[in-house]
Amino acid sequence: MARSRYGFTEDKIARFYKEGRGSGRGAAYKPWFTVRDVPSGGRSHRPHGLKTGRVHHLLSDIERDLFLLLDWSDAVCDIREQFPLDRSTTMRIAEEIGVPHPVDRQSKAPLVMTTDFVVDLIREGRLLQVARAVKPAEKLDEPRTVAKLEIERRYWIDQGVEWGIVTERDIPETLARNIENIHAWAVIDDLTQPYPGFYAEKAALIAREVPARAHMTMQRFCEEIDLLLSLDRGTCLMLLRHLLVTKVLACDLSDPVDDQVLMSRFRLAAPRTGRASA
């Protein structure tokens, strides 16, 4: 029988370690799995991180949504997805609690277990690490899933790290969708533009127009600004998204934001809260 491209042998596990999988921080981190390493049913995602400046490998829609919330949070410093756990430790824990350790179906090699997200964040002025497992709520009724989560939970307790489970029920849907709509527009300098810095220049002009046009809908605002600044249709909307994701403009994204929202919802953020324009 041909071996599945997704299968693991001891040689493949050794190669992953040699490649530095699961090591590094920030832009240098390499996840244990990439979207090419595991079947995802077409629901994998590769967003570019605001915090890390690298591509993240997310294996489900729930992982994508949690990532968006983490990447948006000012408290979060670093996000490491598909984080490998020490195999000897998880094997010991599995033996202690009397459950089978995950193994490859064909090679029978004990698998390297992973935690979906390990996150560095600031809480009450202290730098902390937290770990989060991501699962569909319906999976929590499956005994095998529960057993593997228990191995993971005990692993992080031993490490002194806060661990928890996130399901789709824990995701604020409106906030996640609003962040998704603006997330890709953080970097604009790599877009084709008339001259270097053109979009950054126009974005600054648009930000200054917001307070004076607070009575307008976003659709009307964008139409007028595109005409006023001689921009291609849709450019103002793109740059509004850039101003939001870089936190030059502030808006409560927990409420729906569509083209009929009033510009009074938007305000210039204090300079210390904004990210540098890309």
| Same domain membership, residue 239 and residue 163 | no
Check residue 1 and give its pLDDT. 40
In a domain, 223, yes or no: yes
Our measurement of the distance from residue 274's CA atom to the centroid of its chain's CA atoms, rounded to an integer in Å, reads 19
Last residue of a domain, one of 119, 136, 171: 171
Final residue belonging to a domain, choices 150, 171, 192: 171
**Is 132 part of a structural domain of the chain?**
yes
Work out how many domains the chain is built from and give that number.
Answer: 2
Task: State the Cα–Cα distance between residues 106 and 101, nearest whole angstrom.
Answer: 15
Domain presence at residue 217: yes
Does 152 share its domain with 215?
A: no
The neighbouring-strand residues paired with 81 are: 117
Please check whether residues 148 and 56 belong to one and the same domain: yes
Q: In what order do the strands lie in the sheet with 162-166?
A: 76-84, 114-123, 126-134, 162-166
CA–CA separation, 67 and 58 (whole Å): 8
Over residues 119-160, the pLDDT tens digits come to 999 999 999 999 999 999 999 999 999 999 999 999 999 999
Contact between residue 168 and residue 137 where contact means Cβ atoms under 8 Å apart: yes
Query: Phi then psi for 62, rounded to 5 degrees?
Result: -65, -40
| Domain end (from 106, 141, 171) | 171
Q: What rounded mean pLDDT belongs to the chain? A: 94
**Phi-psi region at 84: left, alpha or beta (left = phi > 0; alpha = psi -120 to 50):** beta
Please give the pLDDT value at position 275.
Answer: 43
Say whether both 75 and 158 belong to one domain. Answer: yes
Q: Is residue 143 located within the same domain as residue 196? A: no
Q: What is the pLDDT of residues 168-197, one digit of tens each?
A: 999 999 999 999 999 999 999 889 999 999
* CATH number of 109's domain: 3.40.1350.10
Q: Which positions ≥6 away from 150 have C-beta within 8 Å?
A: 97, 99
Give the CATH number of the domain where residue 210 resides: 1.10.10.10
127 has which bridge partners? 122
The confidence score (pLDDT) of residue 277 equals 37
Same structural domain for residues 165 and 67?
Answer: yes
Instruction: Compute the distance between CA of residue 198 and CA of residue 132 in angstroms, rounded to an integer.
Output: 41
Res 5: pLDDT? 75
What distance in Å separates the CA atoms of residue 109 and residue 44, rounded to the nearest whole number? 26
pLDDT in the model for residue 39: 80
Note whether residue 2 is domain-resident: no
- Whether residue 178 lies inside any domain: the answer is no
Rounded mean pLDDT for each run of 10 residues along the chain, 278 residues in total: 74 97 97 90 89 97 98 98 98 98 96 98 96 97 98 98 98 98 94 94 97 97 98 97 97 96 94 45
pTM, two decimals, is: 0.93
* β pairing state of 126-134 and 114-123: antiparallel
Please indicate, yes or no, if residue 241 is contained in any of the structural domains.
yes
pLDDT of residue 92: 98
CB 111 within 8 A of CB 12: no
Contact 200, 188 (CB under 8 A): yes
Whether residue 128 is contained in a domain is answered as yes
Please provide the DSSP assignment of 166-222 as one string. E-GGGS-HHHHHHHHHHHTTS--TTS--SSTTHHHHHHHHHHHHTGGGTTSBHHHHH
Q: Print the domain residue range for 249.
A: 184-273
